[in-house]
Amino acid sequence: MKAAVLVFPGSNCDRDLKVAFEAVGAEVTMVWHKESTLPDGVDIVGVPGGFSYGDYLRCGAIAANSPICTELKRHVDRGGYALGICNGFQILTETRILPGALIRNAGLKYICKHVPLTVTTSDSVFTQGYNAGSTVSIPIAHHDGNYQADDALRAALADADRIAFTYEDNPNGSAGDIAGVLSENRRVLGMMPHPERAADEGHGGTDGAALFTGIAGALVAA
């Protein structure tokens, strides 16, 4: 499996994501945001957390206009896989690769803690390592993690089984308790919690590891 991890000014979880991919056997290339192409043969693109461009405009809005995001959209349009975590999720919504928007937390404060999530579907390469309906503990670290979608969009996401994770105790005001959503073809996942920070014994929990082993198992088999 070949993975590319995008790096923007202000990314601070890019190495964590690289390590998580490498732990499941991936060959990982770090790709600077000014690049206009992805490495040949890339299976999955990781869009990491952090504070791209310092969040000086809308979170992810400036990064979404970086040269590499044009290629990211081409990769996704060709049926390639992508995983956006935290700021990466914000970037995926700003590029319109995923629907909805991330706004300021309802409590107007930065939140950093482990939270319980419900795995809403196991029908994706990202969630196939979990049982639908099970609970996992994954850390969050965000100020603008309040996922917003109108009633029609939330209904459409639910009807298509595209809600990947929900919060059991909503920390940020997200509509419908949504913590992660899938693209129409189920090959792109955006989520606010950080599975790469729960993928090793040294992290104090390994509930995020199944996400990466699931990706590797599916893509290596393909």
Residues known to be catalytic: 86, 194, 196
Please give the full DSSP string across 44-63, using - where no structure is assigned. EEEE--B-GGGG-SSTTTTG
Please list, in sequence order, all residues whose beta carbon lies within 8 angstroms of the beta carbon of residue 205, skipping any fewer than 6 positions away: 114, 137, 198
Q: Give the whole-angstrom CA distance, residue 48 versus residue 14.
A: 5
What are the CA-CA distances from residue 61 to residues 4, 47, 75, 129, 155 (Å)?
21, 14, 19, 32, 26
Please list, in sequence order, all residues whose beta carbon lies within 8 angstroms of the beta carbon of residue 14, skipping any fewer than 6 positions away: 5, 6, 7, 30, 48, 50
Virtual torsion, Cα 61, 211, 139, 198, nearest 10 deg: -130
> Can you tell me whether residue 213 is helix, strand or coil?
helix
Residues 57/27, Cβ–Cβ less than 8 Å: no
Q: Give the whole-angstrom CA distance, residue 147 versus residue 180.
A: 9
